[in-house]
Structure 1
Amino acid sequence: MAEKRNIFLIGPMGAGKSTIGRLLSQKLHMEFFDSDYEIEKRTGADISWVFDVEGEDKFRIREENIIKEITEKQGIVLATGGGSIQSKKTRNRLSARGLVVYLETTIDKQLDRTKKDRNRPLLLTKNPSRLFLENLAKERNPLYTEIADFIIKTNSYSAKIVVNNIINTLFNN
């Protein structure tokens, strides 16, 4: 990685994309973006409210446009929203404009990491049950895998160890 290529983090809610992205960008001296944060910054409202007011379809269009804009930058780390990969355009952009790292985690870890989080629209509008997350995984995991350059497991490791694993994977391939 002599030249700083973009690094895009994908994966389900609770995989650690935002936390790991922030640490990774600091360690690699790259600018960090979080697509959910960008939506909040631009709308002046939290993700849950935007999702609730606009509905999922309009929210996904907004998300797609923000990711399009951010991925045009160079030398960045981007943490994407868990559902952003549902857009074929977004998947194509991520694949074409940087290295895609799929942060994989288990349903148990997702439940544990998101149980107190009130800023996850899909968990607020639906019963955050194991079955709900399993259904999301069936739908989304193949899409994550489809565009991933690398898959990094996050369930049993601290964010710092995951960051080191990502860096080792990037520099040894």
Structure 2
Amino acid sequence: MKLFLIGYRGTGKTMIAKILATAWNCEWADSDGEIERRSGKSIAQIFSQDGEASFRKLEIEVVRDLATGPHKVVSLGGGAVMGTENRTTIAAQGLTCWLQATPATIAQRLEQDSATKSQRPDLTPLGGLEEIQTVLDQRFSVYQSCADFEFDTEGKSPNQVADEILVTVAKEQKMNS
């Protein structure tokens, strides 16, 4: 089985993917990290030097590659599911969990993350909380349509969210066996 974690940046996808992979004794992967590895550039550099279209093209290849192979947990970049090809790939290959938090919490988490400014490009000219709310509004219905399960990360540690996912996925597997 493959499990895909989706949601806005700062919702804990990468940290929770690592915890789940340890619990299941399987591989984990981060699509943005793999894009950076393959390109030799940060996400922000790709956006500024090559443009978003170039980033999205590489993202499609990476998501397709990460969706193949053995049992694993994959943390997807916040905008990965906006591409139809990526949505089709993940729907065919495993379960998808949408990690959520309020815009204020996301803004606080991103502000505390030292990598945010150097590695994550602004997505609109707005910046900050206004940008988060605008982009979440644009992505909400897509996240919702992709998600097999939704998890609120508000006020919870990554371990608590991972535990909720473990219980939910175990129930799902039991129902389908």
TM-score bracket, shorter-length normalisation? over 0.9
Aligned to 1:12: 8
SS in 1 for 2:150: strand
State, as a whole percentage, how many aligned pairs show the same letter. Answer: 30
User: What's the C-alpha RMSD, in Å, of the aligned pairs?
Assistant: 1.3
The alpha-carbon deviation at position 126 of structure 1 amounts to 3.5
Aligned to 1:121: 121
Using structure 1 for the length normalisation, give the TM-score.
0.92
Could you tell me which runs of 5 or more consecutive residues in structure 1 were left unpaired when the two chains were aligned: none
Could you tell me which runs of 5 or more consecutive residues in structure 2 were left unpaired when the two chains were aligned: 173-177
Partner Cα distance (2:69, 2:138) in 1: 29
Superposed counterparts of 1:80-95, under 5 Å: 80-95=76-91
Whether the 8 Å CA contact 2:46–2:52 is kept in 1: the answer is: no
| Structure 1 consecutive aligned stretches of length 4 or more whose deviation exceeds 4 Å | none
The alpha-carbon deviation at position 121 of structure 1 amounts to 1.2
Whether the 8 Å CA contact 2:80–2:86 is kept in 1: the answer is: yes
Instruction: Give CA deviations for 1:68-114 in whole Å, capped at 9, x if unaligned.
Output: 11101220100000001110110111111000000111101110011
Instruction: Give CA deviations for 1:1-55 in whole Å, capped at 9, x if unaligned.
Output: xxxx000000001111011111111111110100011011111121111121111
The alpha-carbon deviation at position 128 of structure 1 amounts to 2.2
Number of equivalences: 168
Superposed counterparts of 1:24-63, under 5 Å: 24-63=20-59
The alpha-carbon deviation at position 64 of structure 1 amounts to 1.1
